[in-house]
Amino acid sequence: MSADSRTIGWGIIGCGDVTETKSGPGFQKARGSRLVAVMRRSAERAKDYAARHGVPRWYDDAGALVGDPEVDAVYVATPPSTHREYTLLAAGAGKPVYVEKPMALDFGECEEMLAACRRAGVPLFVAYYRRALDKFLRVKELVADGAVGDVRLVRVTVEQRARPEETLGRELPWRVDPGIAGGGRFVDLGCHMLDFLDDLLGPISSVKGIASNQAGYFEAEDTVSASFEFESGVQGTGSWCFVGGRERDLTEIVGTAGRLAYSTFDDEPLWLVQGDETRELRVPFPAHVQQPLIQTVVDALNGRGQCPSTGESGARTTRVIDAILDEYRTRSR
């Protein structure tokens, strides 16, 4: 890619639900970007998506999309089980890749993807879009400015009720099929939380986890606890229960001068506690939550800045997930 600020033509492999609002329009609205082709295994659905979103071309074969001369870069928006396959396909054609999260089924696949992109001389980005959202940039700014003092501890708590589509005994959603998703909703959602903490506080250097399936609705884990330490010495704990009795999404950054709390998934305000004072800071999500990160990818491809979510950082998050689930996966084999 040259640094002449040319318009980047994008092709999407897997134009499913995540591309309808969260990401797809971002490729059309980001500066210096255009969406030129989409692919889905169902030709009818690919054609429908292209018609509804004003995309010039559609395919039902990934190789054909990657080979399209107007496709400069590829967005892999399929479930995790095919991220490695399609990343290697795009890299083999010499095209940069932006891949959905989690980056792959496991850290070993991440390493293969990184190696393939290095050999091809193309960059690899991962769709951990919170790294570019204003809400989370505000969290980083507050911590960097010392709003909570020296950070000592992180607490992550997620509680969700079991979802009806996961308990009916029929065909289960792919997000709770370990063969497709790499695990259950902990992998699907927990990776976002852990990845942002990597961005906020630096890499996690050690981690221990306990995972179990308490309700028996599916094969994947439904309850997870973890303790971890960052290279900086900050300690962290996390608990994720997806068969609970209420909905809760809270991360707390505890420091020597206060506490900062936020919701990772809900459009809720930040809460900054300093002594007896609690401040509520509202930073709303944009219409297309991936657009800010997509803009950093486009700018990076044109030699104007860097994207904060790379294959290297995405692989670190997958390595932490693997460590937390290692014992459970071993027992489940």
Domains in the chain (CATH in brackets) are 8-127 (3.40.50.720), 134-285 (3.30.360.10)
Q: What is the pLDDT of residue 3?
A: 46
- Rounded distance, CA 78 to CA 80, Å? 6
Q: What is the pLDDT of residue 2?
A: 45
Question: Hey, which residues does 271 pair with through a beta bridge?
Answer: 261, 280
- Give every CB contact of residue 9 below 8 A, 6+ residues apart in sequence: 34, 35, 36, 70, 71, 72, 73
- Give every CB contact of residue 224 below 8 A, 6+ residues apart in sequence: 186, 190, 209, 210, 211, 212, 238, 239, 240, 241, 324, 325
- Rounded distance, CA 118 to CA 131, Å? 23
CB 55 within 8 A of CB 71: no
- Rounded distance, CA 151 to CA 287, Å? 32
10-residue stretch averages of pLDDT, the chain, 333 residues long: 74 97 98 98 98 98 98 98 98 98 98 98 98 98 98 98 86 95 98 98 98 96 98 98 97 98 97 97 97 98 97 98 97 87
Token output for 291: 């657009």
Q: What is the pLDDT of residue 4?
A: 58
